């Protein structure tokens, strides 16, 4: 698709609504439900800052799409969207179609669980879509992806995907090849989903590196 002057890309933070017992459930135990909720809130707040900075750098618009109504966190500078019902693929496709229909040149969706993904990566994804790349994808080290950017509605890459498994990325890339598209791939990143990720996160955000995700780093320090 040829980029259209004046049409911004939308960068959308995808996040579960912060509800006790509904977030970071694979981390309980070792965390308690209250600790899992606190970690989720910290991750989302840090990710919101990254999205806002990336949108400003890339001339994009910033949004947050909540997975359920009620109890949203105050995230200044991010317009609110509802993900709606259905599996993750159906919800993401709905978001893409809605924002494209509202006049955006493309949509970049990023999860809230990859705290080392900084604003330059998101801004690069938005610029790539704006420049005419049809698909941009950020591989997660667990076999999924932490980011996907699209310049058009592409239902093939959202339907029938085994979400939450190690096959998400490989199946998505195979679907893209089948329809004659090649994704621009970003640097891989690690999600925070499982107990082993907590030890890695503590090491990754130790010392000055904690500035990359300050609220998450503060939560880790308080939990020592």
Instruction: Return per-residue pLDDT of the chain as tens, 224 residues.
Output: 444 557 999 999 999 999 999 999 999 999 999 999 999 999 999 999 999 999 999 999 999 999 877 667 889 999 999 999 999 999 999 999 999 999 999 999 999 999 999 999 999 999 999 999 999 999 999 999 999 999 999 999 999 999 999 999 999 999 999 999 999 999 999 999 999 999 999 999 999 889 999 999 999 999 87
Q: Is 7 helix (H, G, I), strand (E, B) or coil?
A: coil
The residues, ordered by sequence, that sit 6+ positions from 96 with a Cβ below 8 Å of its Cβ are 107, 109, 150, 153, 154
Domain boundaries, the chain: 9-193
Q: Which CATH superfamily is domain 9-193 in?
A: Spore Coat Polysaccharide Biosynthesis Protein SpsA; Chain A (3.90.550.10)
DSSP-assigned letter for residue 9: E
């Amino acid at each position: 698709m040829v980029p259209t002057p004046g049409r911004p890309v939308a960068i959308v933070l995808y996040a579960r609504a912060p509800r006790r017992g509904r977030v970071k459930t694979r981390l309980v135990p070792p965390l308690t439900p209250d600790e899992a909720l606190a970690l989720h809130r910290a991750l989302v707040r840090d990710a919101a800052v990254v999205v806002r900075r990336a949108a400003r750098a890339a001339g994009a618009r910033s949004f947050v799409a909540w997975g359920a109504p009620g109890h949203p966190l105050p995230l200044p500078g991010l317009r609110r969207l509802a993900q709606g019902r259905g599996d993750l693929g159906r919800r993401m496709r709905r978001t893409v179609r809605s924002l494209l229909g509202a006049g955006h040149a493309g949509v970049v969706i990023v999860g809230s669980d990859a705290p080392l993904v900084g604003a330059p990566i998101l801004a690069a994804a938005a610029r790539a879509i704006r420049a005419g790349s049809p698909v941009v994808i950020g591989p997660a080290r667990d076999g999924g992806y932490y980011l996907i950017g699209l310049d058009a509605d592409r239902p093939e890459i959202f339907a029938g995907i085994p979400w939450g498994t190690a096959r998400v990325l490989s199946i998505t890339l195979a679907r893209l090849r089948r329809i004659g598209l090649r994704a621009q791939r970003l640097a891989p990143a690690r999600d925070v989903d499982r107990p082993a990720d907590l030890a890695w996160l503590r090491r990754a955000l130790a010392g000055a590196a904690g500035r990359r995700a300050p609220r998450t780093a503060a939560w880790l320090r308080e939990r020592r």
